Amino acid sequence: MTEVLADPSKALSNAELLAGGSATPELDPETTAELAPLPSSQTISQRPRRLRRTATLRKMVRETNLQISDLIYPLFVMEGENQKVEIASMPGCYRYTLDLLLVEIHQASELGIGAIALFPLIPETQKDNLGTESYNPQGLIPRTVQAIKQAIPEILIITDVALDPYSSTGHDGIVEDGKILNDETVAVLVKQALAQATAGTDFVAPSDMMDGRIGAIRQALDAAGWTNVGILAYSAKYASGYYGPFRDALDSAPKFGDKKTYQMDPGNSREALKEIELDITEGADILMVKPALAYLDIIWRIKQRTNLPIAAYNVSGEYAMIKAAAAQGWIDEKQVILETLISMKRAGADLILTYFAKEVALILQ
């Protein structure tokens, strides 16, 4: 077969090609440069990349910085001695007996972490519907607080106020005929907060979402002389699917139903503002949003409404997802941890409860 050569006179010009011609001959770089001149300094008045040129420059102009002092380290304590049990759904997190918990807290303190949040694993034999073990002055949390204050007095201790770890039903309140009783539960929460204050806690942290509990606890603390004990209020705590691994850690999943009659609906944001306004009025010192990552908009909206410090809880499900993806090699774990926590600060959080606290402290050293 004889090869037929295209007529050179019908070849598209460079100008036609740039205008959308269908032929695709190789372009002459010099001709292309003439047709599409590079922008001059007169046409680009701002060059944001100038401020990204070096690591030093990027750090100097960074708008949001994560610091070790921002971190609160949640820890799980259990009865016994010389035991450290890993939580299967939270790789790298453990339940500690008190002796080993003190070692862990000492290490965290040496890394610059200044605050911890305590959560107890209560034996089934000590659980009941009324949560009576929650205010036992010789219970696990009061004994733990006393031991920490004696061994590591500089660490700030935050203790959880809620009935679910102590409840035979796994709910945050007293149950009657399948319903969670509000005022009766608040009366028990007050006793729990007083027991923790007497033991030496720095902050009580009501996480139950019962109506009126912040005011009742504040009044009781003040009346008992504990005016310096602060309240970190779980002000906007949502009924979330991100809590699963935490409930594994404490064996505190509800035995029936769910927590939607007292925790907030994930679709609501104005309700969060109402909750924080009530908590401020009732005497909260710090406001908390939980979970954090799916609720950054809530943190931002609350930040616009108050000058009180805002805490964000980087919850167990958020932790577990990062750990799982990193274990598969799908993400750079350190980079994603830092990016996640910085997003919370950028949204307006002043403090972050995170199971990554020690890892982040090591990164930021």
Active-site annotation holds for 237 = yes
What would you measure as the largest C-alpha separation in the chain, in angstroms?
106
Instruction: Please tell me the distance from the alpha carbon of residue 305 to that of residue 276, in angstroms, as a whole number.
Output: 9
Cis peptide before 291 (omega within 30 of 0): yes
From the CB of residue 53, how many other CB atoms can be counted at a distance below 10 Å?
Answer: 10
Q: State both tokens at 328.
A: 């598969």
Parallel, antiparallel, or unpaired: how do β-strands 179-181 and 286-290 relate?
unpaired
Instruction: Please tell me the distance from the alpha carbon of residue 356 to that of residue 338, in angstroms, as a whole number.
Output: 9
Range 22-28, long-range pairs (CB < 8 A, 24+ positions): none
What ranges in 253-328 are assigned the alpha helix state H? 270-282, 296-303, 316-327
CA atoms lying within 13 Å on the CB side of residue 186: 15
Which residue among 127, 259, 290, 323 is the active-site one? 290
Instruction: Please tell me the distance from the alpha carbon of residue 40 to that of residue 49, in angstroms, as a whole number.
Output: 16
Q: State both tokens at 270.
A: 């104005």
Q: Name the region of 232 (left: φ>0; alpha: ψ -120 to 50; beta: rest).
A: beta
Which residue among 59, 84, 179, 237 is the active-site one? 237
Q: How far apart are the first and last CA of the chain?
A: 75
Active-site annotation holds for 59 = no
Instruction: Please tell me the distance from the alpha carbon of residue 320 to that of residue 168, in angstroms, as a whole number.
Output: 26
Strand partners, 274: none
Contact 120, 141 (CB under 8 A): yes
User: Residues with catalytic annotation?
Assistant: 237, 290
